[in-house]
Structure 1
Amino acid sequence: MADSKEIVPLTWGPGFIDELLPSSQQISLLFQLSYLCLGKFPKLERLLRMRAVETQLLFKSSEAVMLKCVGTSQNLVSSLFPMLITATQKNKPILAVKFLEKARTWIVDIIQEVEKMVQRYETLNKDVTTTTSDVNTEKKETENALQKLSKEHQALTDALNELEEQLKRTTDEIEEIQKNIDYKMNALQNAARDLAAQTQKFSIVASVVPFIGAIIKAAKESEFVPEATALIKRLESELNDLYSSKSTAKQREWSLQLQLIDKRMTLAKLQVDLGIIPKPTHLQDVQMYLSKIQKILIDLKGFWENVYSLLGIIKDKTFVGEDLIEEPELREEFLQSISEASKMWGSFGVSCNKSVQIFQNQSKDAYKFLEIDPSSLCIEEWQKQYDDVKKQLQDLNVSSSCKTPAIEK
């Protein structure tokens, strides 16, 4: 069977869409706010339109990549796992090796496609940075009108400075909590790996179900090595507390960000009315959320690379040069693990399908604001569009990404 020392559980599960959904929505809404702020300046309006269209097309391509993840997950459940069961029951290792290699070719293709997406997000982020710089350059040419602004401008600036300071403290708090989460998660994975090294059954589970939630569940249900399982349960409980604290802090952070957006828009409107180009703060936020989606794709690439390696381990250590018929107990454990893997991969496939819908909705409907010339909007219509975007931002659930990484049982 697989050498347990080679099993390295990856912190991944179906919950990745909890971060993907709000980030993709925030990007389109912040683009729309930038469009409303800068649309009266023709050169900047063209630049914004270009970046927004590029983002829309990138989301369409991301949808296609996630659709491949859906298909591969389904193929594992409907094709690979049944063939592994048949090969094990009938003692046909050559057949198992053949299908494992076929599955690995599917995964290589996905890894390459995801890598391309990561690079495209990197390029887009750089382009948005350039656009932000262009806005700032244009802004300098209009700042001679700043002296015409009233005391209202100074009051807004002071309020913005205070909110930005509160936001910085909250963001620092979240980063510190995340450091503790990473530390505890690393300890949890080490504990799971150590348990796998001590129990053959647990090693099998870790080989075919590369989801941290399933591995935690298997450890908690294990009757072997009580000290190791107790450690895993304690670490999971500590992680739950940390994720709860992070969720509270994230919600507070988002509340502050909404207040900042509102005050920045009020200030921007004052400036635009005087022909002054406002700061491109919303574009800077777009970059932040693009980076979050890029990070999700980097993690997804790492996940599939891990799956590729695990399938190779199963092939080399389980089916090459071994006769499972002579190990009936381990054979039964392997078959049970395959059954469990089918459930987990089914859940993962559902999440990938949800991500397809997220990218599809964003690429199809979220950028319809580009069909309107913002410079043609009357004051009432401008305010109506802004109020609509503001409400959508307020309705976003940004704390759902702070759930524990364990797959829901």
Structure 2
Amino acid sequence: MANSTALALSDSSWSPDFIQELLPSAERTALLYHLSFLCLGGFPKLERKIREQAIETQMLFGTSKAVLLKCAGTSSNLVTSLFPILIKAVEKNKPRLAEVYLEKARTWINDIIRAVGLMCMKNKKRPEEKRKKHADNIKGLKDALEKLEVELKKNVSDMNEIEKRIERSTQELYYLIRNNQKYRYSIFWGLFSFTRPYNDDAIRAKQDELNRLVSEKNSLRNQGWNIKIKQTDLQLQMANSLIQLGVIPDPDHLKEVQKCLDQIRQILVELKEFWEKVGVMLETLKDKTFVGEELIEDLEDMKEEFLNSIEYAKQDWQRFGECCQRAQNIFSIQSRTAYKFLEVNPSSLSKDEWKKQYESIMAKLRKINPQGSSTAAITE
């Protein structure tokens, strides 16, 4: 039996040791947000978006900490209080009392399974809703921008055409003036203003035509300017939507931020997977806890087997609770102190202060690895 217990405890498919793998990522998340926040000091709108995302992530870690604490507390209560009473009831051949405490264990376990289930939904639903909302918004903006691009191309084409027409009309007007009997011999024919009224009907008509063309050109120029203003407005809206999705729309100047946000997004995906694994783990622990439930009806002959099943479950719950306790300690730090950098406006920093913070963040990031400083922090 001891060997089978060791085998069960070492089963990596459900072992809570995987919690340790996520913790350095939690520490790295805050540092990446800090780095992004620092690099966006000269971009107020982008800086605000990063701040909002960082606060939301901080709150997510805070909720995670609370659920992990609940898991750790329930595990401790099972191991130190309920299981000992259950074992005592079985040892004294009190099956009805054993059933009561076994049912109480079921209630406690189902309670934390529901809490973990809500965390899974929260990690999954929030990004999906946000992504859908902003994806729909981005699609609408792209369609509008494409339409404006078509309008702008037509505007440019019309402007080119009107320029050609103005040039032709100007040449034709000069031709008419040069060949007009009144002005043919005047050395000042080239200095005539197009607004001067001429008695010659052809010249006057051509001048009117030219004036209309110039007016049309000005109208087209204003139209082109308005299209560009609309484009700028939509591009800013697009940038805001992209920022909400964790995408920096200016990779040429903000590659560092883009890289940070990509990593943060992946870490948050890992956090969702983490809670899904905790959910599976709890269901497995639940099954192990109640594997001997049927044996209560026949305690006289199956007492030892039932007590062994509870002892194995007790050991597993103890390991699970210890890992949850260590994990919630790290998440507590992330939710409480790791985001204090949001209290300082990065644009207010001097060049020396900015450089010092940047180098400090990079040094901390380089130190983080699954076997590095974060692992040491977990085992304290």
After superposition, where does 1:249-268 map in structure 2 within 5 Å? none
Letter of the structure 2 residue corresponding to residue 56 of structure 1:
Q
TM-superposed CA distance for 1:20, in Å, is: 2.1
Tell me the residue number matched to 2:352: 380
1:391 aligned onto 2:369: no
Match of 2:253 among 247, 256, 271: 271
CA contact (8 A) 2:64 2:119 kept: yes
Structure 1 pair 20–44 and aligned structure 2 pair: CA distance change class (3 A): same
CA contact (8 A) 1:128 1:283 kept: no
SS in structure 2 of the partner of residue 280 of structure 1: helix
Tell me the residue number matched to 2:328: 356
SS in structure 1 of the partner of residue 42 of structure 2: coil
Separation in structure 2 between the aligned mates of residue 25 and residue 283 of structure 1, nearest angstrom: 15
Tell me the residue number matched to 2:90: 88
After superposition, where does 1:139-178 map in structure 2 within 5 Å? none
CA contact (8 A) 2:14 2:281 kept: yes
Letter of the structure 1 residue corresponding to residue 303 of structure 2:
R
CA contact (8 A) 2:292 2:306 kept: no
User: Which string of whole-angstrom CA distances, capped at 9 and with x for unpartnered residues, describes residues 35-91 of structure 1?
Assistant: 112232111111111110011111111111011111111111122221231122111
1:294 aligned onto 2:294: no
Q: How many residues align?
A: 256
Structure 1 pair 382–131 and aligned structure 2 pair: CA distance change class (3 A): farther
Separation in structure 1 between the aligned mates of residue 133 and residue 330 of structure 2, nearest angstrom: 26
1:318 aligned onto 2:295: yes
TM-superposed CA distance for 1:17, in Å, is: 2.5
CA contact (8 A) 1:73 1:348 kept: yes
1:282 aligned onto 2:260: yes
Tell me the residue number matched to 1:186: none
Match of 1:76 among 68, 75, 78: 78
After superposition, where does 1:86-125 map in structure 2 within 5 Å? 86-125=88-127
Tell me the residue number matched to 1:45: 47
Separation in structure 2 between the aligned mates of residue 110 and residue 50 of structure 1, nearest angstrom: 30
CA contact (8 A) 2:36 2:257 kept: no
TM-superposed CA distance for 1:384, in Å, is: 0.9
Structure 1 pair 84–353 and aligned structure 2 pair: CA distance change class (3 A): same
Tell me the residue number matched to 2:283: 305
C-alpha RMSD over aligned residues = 3.4
Tell me the residue number matched to 1:14: 16
Letter of the structure 1 residue corresponding to residue 61 of structure 2:
F
Letter of the structure 2 residue corresponding to residue 364 of structure 1:
R
CA contact (8 A) 1:30 1:283 kept: yes
Separation in structure 1 between the aligned mates of residue 283 and residue 95 of structure 2, nearest angstrom: 23
Structure 1 pair 130–35 and aligned structure 2 pair: CA distance change class (3 A): farther
Letter of the structure 2 residue corresponding to residue 391 of structure 1:
A
TM-score normalised to the size of structure 2? Answer: 0.60
Tell me the residue number matched to 1:188: none
CA contact (8 A) 2:31 2:361 kept: yes
SS in structure 2 of the partner of residue 271 of structure 1: coil
Separation in structure 1 between the aligned mates of residue 330 and residue 133 of structure 2, nearest angstrom: 26
Letter of the structure 1 residue corresponding to residue 37 of structure 2:
Y
CA contact (8 A) 2:14 2:280 kept: no
Structure 1 pair 278–299 and aligned structure 2 pair: CA distance change class (3 A): closer
Unmatched tracts of structure 2, length 5 or more: 1-7, 146-249, 376-380
User: Which string of whole-angstrom CA distances, capped at 9 and with x for unpartnered residues, describes residues 191-220 of structure 1?
Assistant: xxxxxxxxxxxxxxxxxxxxxxxxxxxxxx
Match of 2:58 among 34, 56, 73: 56
Tell me the residue number matched to 1:228: none
Separation in structure 1 between the aligned mates of residue 330 and residue 79 of structure 2, nearest angstrom: 23
Separation in structure 2 between the aligned mates of residue 386 and residue 301 of structure 1, nearest angstrom: 38
Instruction: Extract structure 1 runs of 4+ deviating beyond 4 A.
Output: 126-135
SS in structure 2 of the partner of residue 358 of structure 1: helix
Separation in structure 2 between the aligned mates of residue 65 and residue 127 of structure 1, nearest angstrom: 22
Bigger Cα Rg: 2
Separation in structure 2 between the aligned mates of residue 42 and residue 131 of structure 1, nearest angstrom: 23
Letter of the structure 2 residue corresponding to residue 346 of structure 1:
Q
CA contact (8 A) 2:83 2:314 kept: yes
Separation in structure 2 between the aligned mates of residue 80 and residue 297 of structure 1, nearest angstrom: 25
Structure 1 pair 379–123 and aligned structure 2 pair: CA distance change class (3 A): farther
Structure 1 pair 100–346 and aligned structure 2 pair: CA distance change class (3 A): same
TM-superposed CA distance for 1:132, in Å, is: 10
Letter of the structure 1 residue corresponding to residue 276 of structure 2:
I
CA contact (8 A) 1:22 1:396 kept: yes
TM-score normalised to the size of structure 1? Answer: 0.56
TM-superposed CA distance for 1:123, in Å, is: 4.2
